[in-house]
Amino acid sequence: MSPKVLIVMGSDSDCPVLEETAKILEQFAIPFEMRIASAHRSPRKTADLVEAAAGRGIQVIIAAAGLAAHLPGVVAAGTILPVIGVPMGGGPLNGVDALYAIVQMPAGIPVATTAIGRTGARNAALLAAQILALSDPTLSEKLLAFRERMACEIEEKDQKLQRRDK
């Protein structure tokens, strides 16, 4: 099955964090591909990848970047597909610079932005799944079941805590 989500990162050092994205997409049986393409070091490759995405069946792009974090904005500028930016931690500002760079896109070129690091990587996959679920009832059901499991886990933890306190 052809990929529906493109995960793109500027460096292989981002891969361990984006494996969290991959795990969630796999859990929901959403086909995806992961690529390395830098906004600064390989701008032509990045542009070509983005320009070809929709024609290859990609419906959502997840772009991760740290420091100046230009990749999500460059990706969004080259497509009308929804782009989800994941700020990477690290650097002198621990990812806050990346968060600001991604979330402060100029009007007209939106990038949905998640939290810094692994939490953001997970939420990017879930947001992509929600976007895809708009036209996929089976995926919508899987997302509802996922939410229900989370609620049940919290209830179980609360019950365990209540038993301990007695």
- To the question of whether residue 14 is assigned a binding role by annotation, the answer is yes
Cβ within 8 Å of residue 61, ≥6 positions away: 5, 6, 7, 8, 50, 53, 75, 79, 81, 82, 83, 84
Q: How far apart are CA 101 and CA 111, in angstroms?
A: 10
Residue 41 marked in a binding site: yes
- What distance in Å separates the CA atoms of residue 147 and residue 15, rounded to the nearest whole number? 26
Whether 13 has a binding-site annotation, put simply, is no
In 3D space, the residue among 132, 127, 147 whose CA is nearest the CA of residue 1 turns out to be 132
Query: CA angle, 73 as apex, 70 and 79 as ends, to 5°?
Result: 140
Annotated binding site for substrate: 11, 14, 41
Annotated binding site: 11, 14, 41
